[in-house]
Amino acid sequence: MRLFEVTPEKDRIIYELKKVGVDPYALRMADKAVARAVKICGLTPAQGNIIKQESLACGIDAAVCRGTVNCAVERTDVLIIGTERGLKALSERLAVQPFNLPETGIALKSFLTKSKKRSFFSRGREFSLEKPLVMGIFNVTPDSFSDGGMLANEERVKAKLALFASQGADITDIGGESTRPGSDAVSLEEELARILPAVKLAKEMDLFVSVDTYKSKTALKALEKGADMINDISGLTFDSDMAKVCADFGAAVCLMHIKGEPKSMQEAPSYANLLEEVKSFLYDSADAAVKAGVREDSIILDPGFGFGKTLKDNHVILKYLEEFTSMGFPLLAGMSRKSMIGGITGKPPQERLIGTKSLEAVAVFKGADIIRSHDVAETAEMIKVVDYLRKAGCDA
């Protein structure tokens, strides 16, 4: 007799069930092997107590705040832990409960069945995400932390754009203002003078162009020049008109989490609950975009590595990046040459290639759809290898 460990992953369990030779109906057992944890925030004690009781009836667990049982607290969060099947059963049992719990049940069922979008739309075109995309960082700034001043004239811009295209960049992200920690803002006029010529040249080469800006007037001018997408580091919080500008052009928009502003964001950032706060910020940003008229399938989320986060914060977000994929939106990860690498290796930005590719590979494996990077060729090759690994079936 021999015993073997089997990874509790649905496809893996289905494969082994078939090898055992079970009847087809028994394949449903795979649901029992997949555990999930779902947190519902801001419930009344009455709601929390009923959810706890109904969870136990479904064979799963629910944790509530101390004082919930005797209603000694005004609000409680509920952490539900169990199998996919048990959580689905709970969502159905809540349909006949009081205190607005049928609405909670509907939200839970929707959350459990929500799948991440496999494409996004921009300006009337659909772009597949079946393979993770490479977003090449194209800074036309004199003070970027990694490559400032290297694209100071038109010939260099053309050469770098052509290089990006030949190396496999799916998106070229053009930025005219450095947002590295401690950086100062630049005027609208200066930002436009830097980025518009590059946007024009990139569109003449038929490249997919993203513009890295938080200013709605910059976004407007860039979109008028043919830019395809806006990459807003503020998640729409620095300029209230940004969402409407993107909506008017039908442009895709990447919404990033940031705590504070670039000038001061790294001055002792702290969180009560890091992952929850970042996700809540991104949910709020996405809601604001949709309310302004942006298509839901034109929204991309970015947890904002290095923007108001400690070294540990950045690595915790990467470690649990899969939690962000459950939000239902495509996910962008930008870690290229950042201090979350240098803080470990001690190397300057230009010597962080190996560290960068290591973390980007982890991001791809954990579900990132777009990798924003300085080193396009290396990133494209890394994605090819890691994506193959990620999609490898257990019937090999």
Coil, strand or helix at 190? helix
Q: In whole angstroms, what is the distance from residue 290 CA to residue 297 CA?
A: 10
Catalytic residue among 221, 225, 338, 352: 338
Residues comprising the chain, all counted: 396
Q: Residue 111 has which token pair?
A: 């959350």
- Strands 299-302 and 76-83, by their bridges, are unpaired
Give the C-alpha separation, 134 to 360, whole Å. 11
Closest CA to 218 of 205, 201, 235, 231: 231
Compute the distance between CA of residue 92 and CA of residue 71 in angstroms, rounded to an integer. Answer: 25
Nearest to 379 by CA among 175, 136, 120: 136
- Could you report how far apart the first and last alpha carbons of the chain are, in Å? 25
Q: Which residue out of 93, 225, 337, 372 is catalytically annotated? A: 372
Sorted by sequence, the CB contacts under 8 Å of residue 232 that are 6+ apart come out as 213, 214, 219, 238, 242, 253, 254, 255, 256
CB 376 within 8 A of CB 169: yes
Closest CA to 90 of 33, 41, 44, 40: 40
- Cβ proximity of 65 and 76 under 8 Å: yes
For the question of residue 338 being annotated catalytic, the response is: yes
* 148 contact partners, CB below 8 Å, separation of at least 6: 139, 141, 142, 178
Sign of the torsion angle spanned by Cα atoms 213, 219, 225, 230: positive
- Tell me whether residue 352 is one of the annotated catalytic residues: no
| CA distances in angstroms from 97 to 57, 104, 388, listed in the order given | 14, 10, 46
Query: β-strands 61-64, 76-83: how paired?
Result: antiparallel
Spatial distance between the Cα atoms of 374 and 138, rounded to a whole number of angstroms: 8
Phi–psi pair at 240, nearest 5 degrees? -70, -15
- What positions carry a catalytic annotation? 338, 372
